[in-house]
Amino acid sequence: MNYAIVDKTTLEILNVYWSESGPDPSRINDTQVQLVIPSNLDYFCIKAVDVNTIVEDPTKSKTKIDAQWVFVRDQQKQKLQESDWTCSVIDPPPEILTQRDQWIAYRQSLRDVTSQTDPFNITWPTPP
């Protein structure tokens, strides 16, 4: 179970704990409250709306998704760079010539990765 320690005045989440029992009560002072984080929420994308309720913070959720797309694009760029040699070799070895269409299709699949809808669940193509 996940728990958040929340400042009662500012509603700022001060810490998150993962344990069956929660944090040690002696570590929570009078200006703080311990709240259970609902299991359906990502603890990186939460906010306290009052001293009893934790909800998803859509602004943090969007930021996390945007950051994941940056990560995906970085991986995409790296995979394309790693396979550049398949298209730029002046005198390619015979095995590359026989797989040329497969490499072209693979590289196009890499370019199409960003058309997938979930950046946390990318299906990467397999190189020939």
- Asked if residue 122 is part of any domain, the answer here is no
- Residue 80 and residue 44 in one domain: no
- Cut 0.85: pTM above it: no
Closest C-alpha among 30, 38, 28, 39 to residue 5:
28
Instruction: For residue range 69-82, list pLDDT tens digits in order.
Output: 999 999 999 999 99
- Residue 67 and residue 110 in one domain: yes
Q: Which domain holds residue 26?
A: 2-56
- Asked if residue 123 is part of any domain, the answer here is no
- Asked if residue 9 is part of any domain, the answer here is yes
Please say if the pLDDT value at position 89 is more than 70.
Answer: no
- Asked if residue 106 is part of any domain, the answer here is yes
Q: What secondary structure letter does DSSP report for 127?
A: P
- Residue 73 and residue 95 in one domain: yes
Closest C-alpha among 22, 19, 16, 21 to residue 4:
16
Instruction: For residue range 42-74, list pLDDT tens digits in order.
Output: 877 899 999 999 998 888 777 888 888 999 999
Instruction: For residue range 16-40, list pLDDT tens digits in order.
Output: 888 777 677 787 899 999 998 988 8
